[in-house]
Amino acid sequence: MDDIVFKLIGAETKRQAEGLELIPSENYVSEAVLKAMGSVLTNKYSEGYPSFKGLREWDEEEILRGVLPNYRYYGGQQNIDRIERLAIERACKLFNADHANVQPHSGANANEAVYFAWCEPGDNILAMNLGHGGHLTHGSPVTRSAKIYNFIPYGTTKDGDLDYDEIRELALSNDIKLILIGYSAFMKIPDFKRVAAIRREAEEKWGHEILLMADMAHVAGLIVAGVHPNPLEFGFNVVTTTTHKTLRGPRGGLILSMGEVGSPIKKISDKSLKNIPTLIDKAVFPGTQGGPLEHIIAAKAVAFGEALRSEFKDYASNIVKNAEALADALKERGFVLRGNGTENHLILIDMMESFGINGKLYEKALDLVGLTLNANALPGDQGGAFKPNGVRLGTPAITTRGMGEKEMIKLADWMRRVALICQEVDDSAEIESCRTDDFASIRAEVKELALSFPIPKSF
Ligand code: DSN
């Protein structure tokens, strides 16, 4: 064994057990998911796909018994093919999708593959501004995609909703190929129907098909549980997501799509929305990735199986209930929330307006008491990415631990106590060496609560 690496893994296990995870994009997986990730499947090369059969022709029993055609470039796939097929079938069931590609290594890879499947270099893509809550992969100039495609950013309104008027105006004044709705710091439920209507208008104006894509990485678990609307039911063609946030699976990516599923090795002359599932398969492999991570795909299959269980619906609705309770408790304690609350799992606080402190200082101070969240820029933030005025937090992980409204009140109390300490600390001072007794006593309370809600081993 590698002592030092395993010692550090042990220390991280302890940190996770004794602290509370409030980063809205993190969660705890079951032991079954961990076991699949740590399995011998990591030894196998499986470039290609298990089969392109229409999903609805298959069920799990048949996958085990039947002969699966495959499009792989290596032998020895009899088990891998079945595992990947199970992951595909379960993902389709969860999202009510025609097709799923379970191979993207991450959400970033998933997004890049969709752009590559549908767009040509220089094409216009409408996507949410990073500074307003969008994501790096939605056209930030530092990314590769932004050097290939022309991203046109839209923003949010003062009350924190999507600026639909701006989306419409931009869609009708630029010849766009793709409209992307997606975010990593947004607290409302998007009006997918309205966006689909904008797409229709723009298609008429420009005389060609426009892809509707939703990056639902943050709320995927809420969608599959039915507590958040599913964009695919409103005419969206593609949903991308990560699998490790509210979905509670391994770290990875996933692409769901609507359309005809064809052979991934046949040439496609017609780049049409009807063919998008196959165009995406080709864009993932060989377009943008090599060998799939089949140990992760197996863990995705396990997590999807967990998310198909009826208990997952309760879990997802508790995430939202806890977020609402936490938002209310924070507001009562002087925290100013963007959008004045939340409709999903995520809360964005303006720390400068609330307590006159910046988000980075507050993030560091909360780390000292075992509460983990992240500093986050707010729309128009003068502090930039490294010293923003906001913090972002959420309830998926603490809900996994079984916490409820009572615990949200405790959290809000600790968060206020820490904010008040920060007010008295010189911003340039090393926070670790200030008010150590105060931090230690809050930390002990956090630890006691955390240990009384152990991280569950099974779903
Ligand atoms: N980095 C993720 C988040 O924290 O929202 C998005 O991919």
Q: Are residues 231 and 318 in the same domain?
A: no
- Residue 165 neighbours by CB under 8 Å, 6+ apart: none
CB of 25 shorter than 6 A to ligand 1: yes
Three-state helix/strand/coil letters over 5-44: HHHHHHHHHHHHHHCEECCCCCCCCCHHHHHHHCCHHHHC
Q: What CATH number does residue 423 fall under?
A: 3.90.1150.10
Backbone phi, then psi, for 410, in 5-degree steps? -60, -45
Residues 285 and 411 in one domain: no
CATH classification at residue 204: 3.40.640.10
User: Are both 260 and 336 inside the same structural domain?
Assistant: no
Q: Are residues 257 and 393 in the same domain?
A: no
Q: Is the peptide bond before 231 cis (omega within 30 degrees of 0)?
A: no
Range of the domain at 190: 40-307
Predicted pLDDT of residue 433: 86
Together in a domain, 284 and 423:
no
Tell whether 62 and 134 lie within a shared domain.
yes
Does 355 map to a domain? yes
**Is the Cβ atom of 217 under 6 angstroms away from ligand 1?**
yes
Calculate how far, in angstroms, residue 184's C-alpha sits from the geometric centre of ligand 1.
Answer: 6
Model pTM score: 0.96
Convert the pLDDT of each residue in 189-234 to its tens digit.
999 999 999 999 999 999 999 999 999 999 999 999 999 999 999 9
| Measured distance CA(155)–CA(163) in Å, rounded | 6
Identify the pLDDT of residue 51.
80
110 lines ligand 1 (CB under 6 A): no
Residue 118 sits in the same domain as residue 86 = yes
With the most atoms of ligand 1 within 8 angstroms of its CB, the residue from 21, 184, 345, 376 to mutate is 184
Take atom 4 of ligand 1 and give the residue whose Cα is closest.
25
At which of 271, 289, 307 does a domain end? Answer: 307
The predicted structure's pLDDT at residue 210: 98
Is residue 29 situated within a structural domain?
no
Residues 287 and 331 in one domain: no
Cα 10 to ligand 1 centre (Å): 25
Residue type, 235: G
Q: At what angle do helices 405-423 and 436-452 cross, to 10 degrees?
A: 170
Could you read off the pLDDT of 242-276 as tens digits, one per residue? 999 999 999 999 999 999 988 888 888 889 999 99
**Which of 261, 288, 307 delimits the end of a domain?**
307
Q: Is there a contact between 395 and 327 (Cβ–Cβ < 8 Å)?
A: no
Which residue, 140, 179, 191, 167, is CA-closest to 377? 140
Does 172 map to a domain? yes
Distance 41 CA to ligand 1 centre (A): 27
Instruction: Report the chain (459 residues): mean pLDDT per 10 consecutive residues.
Output: 97 98 98 98 97 64 79 94 94 96 98 98 97 95 97 95 98 98 97 98 98 98 98 98 98 97 87 96 97 98 98 98 98 97 98 96 96 94 88 98 98 98 82 90 98 96
**Residue located nearest, by CA, to atom 2 of ligand 1:** 25
Query: Is residue 22 one of the residues assigned to a domain?
Result: no
Looking at the domain assignment, is residue 352 inside a domain? Answer: yes
Distance CA(418)–CA(415), nearest Å, equals 5
Is residue 135 in contact with ligand 1, taking CB distance under 6 Å? yes
CA 171 to chain centre: 26
Q: Which amino acid is at 176?
A: I
Cβ atoms within 10 Å of 410's Cβ, excluding its own = 15
Q: What is the pLDDT of residues 378-398, one digit of tens each?
A: 988 888 878 999 999 999 999
Query: With a 6 A CB cut-off, is 107 part of the ligand 1 pocket?
Result: yes
Domain assignment present for residue 399? The answer is: yes
pLDDT for res 57: 58
Residue 52: the pLDDT is: 66
> How many folded domains does the chain comprise?
2
Answer yes or no: do 249 and 186 share one domain.
yes
Among 21, 25, 111, residue to substitute to test ligand 1 (most atoms within 8 Å of Cβ): 25
Residue ending a domain, choose from 287, 307, 327: 307
Distance 26 CA to ligand 1 centre (A): 9
Question: In the prediction, which pLDDT does 56 show?
Answer: 53
* Same domain? 75 vs 171: yes
Task: For residue 201, tell me if it sits in a domain.
Answer: yes
Q: Are residues 148 and 137 in the same domain?
A: yes
| Phi-psi category of residue 7: left, alpha or beta, with phi > 0 → left and psi -120 to 50 → alpha | alpha
Q: How far is Cα 425 from Cα 365, in angstroms, rounded to an integer? A: 10
d(CA 28, CA 455): 7
Tokens read off for 265: 């090795």
Can you give the three-state secondary structure of the chain, one letter per residue?
Answer: CCHHHHHHHHHHHHHHHHCEECCCCCCCCCHHHHHHHCCHHHHCCCCEECCCCCHHHCCHHHHHHCCCCCEECCCCCHHHHHHHHHHHHHHHHHHCCCEEECCCCCHHHHHHHHHHHHCCCCCEEEEECHHHCCCHHHCCCCCHHHHHCEEEEECECCCCCECHHHHHHHHHHCCEEEEEEECCCCCCCCCHHHHHHHHHHHHHHHCCCCEEEEECCCCHHHHHCCCCCCHHHHCCCEEEEECCCCCCCCCCEEEEECCCCCCCCCCCCCCCHHHHHHHHHHHHHHHHCCCCCHHHHHHHHHHHHHHCCHHHHHHHHHHHHHHHHHHHHHHHCCCEEHHHCCCCCEEEEEHHHHHCCCHHHHHHHHHHCCEECEEECCCCCCCCCCCCCEEEEECHHHHHCCCCHHHHHHHHHHHHHHHHHHHCCCCCCCHHHCCHHHHHHHHHHHHHHHHHCCCCCCC
* CB-CB contact of 22 with 397 (8 Å): yes
Asked if residue 254 belongs to a domain, the reply is yes
Residue 264's contacts (CB-CB under 8 Å, 6 or more residues apart) are 48, 49, 52, 71, 278, 281, 282, 285
Distance 413 CA to ligand 1 centre (A): 26
Within this chain, do residues 383 and 295 fall inside the same structural domain, yes or no?
no
Which single residue is written with the structure tokens 């198909």? 308
Q: Is 296 in the pocket of ligand 1 (CB under 6 A)?
A: no
Catalytic residues: 45, 47, 215, 242, 245, 251
